[in-house]
Amino acid sequence: MLKEERFQVILSQLNQDQKVHLADLSQILKVSEDTVRRDIKELADQGLLKSVRGGAVPHSPGPHRFHDRIEYGNEQKEIIAKKALDFLRDGQVVIFDGGTSAMLIAQALPKDIRLTVVTNSFPIANILEVHENVEVLFAGGRLLKNSFVTIGNETIRFFKKFRADICFLGICSIHPELGVTGPDYEESEVKKTMIESSREIIALATIEKLETAEAYYVCPTGQLTAIITDQSNDFPEFEVYKKMGIKMV
């Protein structure tokens, strides 16, 4: 079997099972595990999958640039935003990260709710500028242009000052074993600090982001309080997360 044909088989199996193992692929392809490992590395270098110990998992299928994400999956994100409102109460301090799902929550906030919002997102700060009952505390730092958020040591120091009630965490990838991961190192470091500064961590993730992984580690999946998705909470794929003590919404 030619290398290109092996690549197609590996990607097909990954699309079907959401993970592949070296030993299984070795049998299917009738080549050594070392050959499969090299194939997976080459596919990972092309950005077509995420290489992990013993095999591979998919990358998150969504776009990473903010302008592209605004138009991507809005119907699903609006479902997530509506569900997220149930977690909010007057008087809370809430961290909003720079995800587009968090932005839709900001747009949907009731006019009479009283919150303190802490964020590093320029779009969210702009949306809440006209909300009379929401105080906005904005994290300075260096602009990450493809996400319209601030990053860096100044941003991290700012978030360390808070003990928020809730953190709304936009998610690129969640995997039961590999944890929450993202495609940008510095943004992932800021997300870590948001999590450390919050009592409850509410992950916002369309269903396609589950069982995927990116390059930079944010936190263990079990650290999440809840995962809000665009599906009902009886979705079969949610059982692994429920067993970890995570509320699926």
CATH of the domain at 40: 1.10.10.10
Residue 64 has pLDDT above 60, yes or no: no
Residue 71 has pLDDT above 80, yes or no: no
Mark whether 187 and 99 lie in a shared domain.
Answer: yes
Mark whether 41 and 151 lie in a shared domain.
Answer: no
Give the number of domains in the chain: 2
What pLDDT does 73 receive? 55
Mark whether 86 and 120 lie in a shared domain.
Answer: yes
Domain residues for 200?
A: 66-248
Mark whether 127 and 217 lie in a shared domain.
Answer: yes
What band does 75 get if pLDDT is binned at 50, 70 and 90?
confident
Mark whether 22 and 107 lie in a shared domain.
Answer: no
Task: State pTM to two decimals.
Answer: 0.80
Mark whether 22 and 115 lie in a shared domain.
Answer: no
Mark whether 180 and 83 lie in a shared domain.
Answer: yes
Residue, of 18 and 138, whose pLDDT is higher: 138
Q: Per mean pLDDT, which range of 47-56, 101-110, 187-196 is the poorest?
A: 47-56
Residue, of 58 and 87, whose pLDDT is higher: 87
Mark whether 13 and 70 lie in a shared domain.
Answer: no
Query: Considering the chain, what percentage of its residues have pLDDT values greater than 90?
Result: 59
What pLDDT does 11 receive? 84
Does residue 76 contact residue 206 with C-beta atoms inside 8 Å? Answer: yes
Mark whether 34 and 109 lie in a shared domain.
Answer: no
Mark whether 22 and 117 lie in a shared domain.
Answer: no
Mark whether 95 and 154 lie in a shared domain.
Answer: yes
From the list 107, 129, 88, 123, the residue with the least C-alpha distance to 228 is 88
What pLDDT does 151 receive? 97
C-beta pairs of 5-13 under 8 Å, 24+ apart in sequence: 6/31, 6/35, 6/36, 6/39, 7/39, 7/42, 7/43, 10/36, 10/39, 10/40, 10/43, 10/49, 10/56, 11/43, 11/48, 11/49
